[in-house]
Amino acid sequence: MIVVLFGPPGSGKGTQSIRVARHLRVPHVATGDMLRAEVARGSALGREAEPLMSTGRLVPDDLIVRMIGARINEPDAAGGALLDGFPRTVPQAKALDAMLGARSLRVDVVVSLRVDDDELRRRVLDRAKIEGRADDTPEAFEQRLRTYGVETAPVLDYYRGMGTRIVEVDGVGEIENITRRITVAIAASGTVVPAK
């Protein structure tokens, strides 16, 4: 099963994705984590991505699509994956559909985490004190929020137009409760969770 976890920066996507992937027993595939690893390694991709990431802009679609294409073809993703932070543009969503279609797969469900902008700002400023992520400065965060509105929010409309299942989940509250809301919503959407 392919699950896309979708939400604005600071919505708790990363935290929830790890927990939900564990529950579904599929790998957690996070393009942001993969890119941060490339930056840390100092690879060519990392060097290209770093200035974009630290200012809250998106890395070009072709690089991301190549990176994710390799990842979802690894053996551990044969039974599916939980995608965190991808797709972030409509061209990425179309490229994903093409890649999955070639394997007779599709996006089974999109989980959309809802958190209002003021709560997002509060969370990211708190996270900045703890994690020190380069893109958690107020300026970079405001740019990430703008990027989300302009480039990423239309991805949800794309899936709506394709008839893909979308479940909306309130992303405010205790971490455990939000995880439960997500797993219950996935089950209620009729998506079949593979038995292992």
| Binding region for ligand AMP (CB under 6 A) | 9, 31-32, 35, 52-53, 56-59, 64, 85-86, 88, 92, 135, 144
Token digits for 20? 């939900």
Q: Closer CB to ligand AMP, residue 150 or residue 184? A: 150
Which of 66, 105, 111 lies closest to 85, judged by CA?
Answer: 111
| Distance of closest approach, residue 122 Cβ to ligand AMP, in angstroms | 17
According to DSSP H, which parts of 25-135 are helical? 31-41, 44-54, 61-72, 90-101, 117-131
Nearest residue to ligand AMP, by Cβ distance, number only: 32
| Distance of closest approach, residue 187 Cβ to ligand AMP, in angstroms | 25
Q: Closer CB to ligand AMP, residue 151 or residue 193? A: 151
Which of 44, 45, 25, 20 lies closest to 35, judged by CA?
Answer: 45
φ/ψ of 84, rounded to 5, equals -120, 115
| Distance of closest approach, residue 102 Cβ to ligand AMP, in angstroms | 20
| Distance of closest approach, residue 124 Cβ to ligand AMP, in angstroms | 10
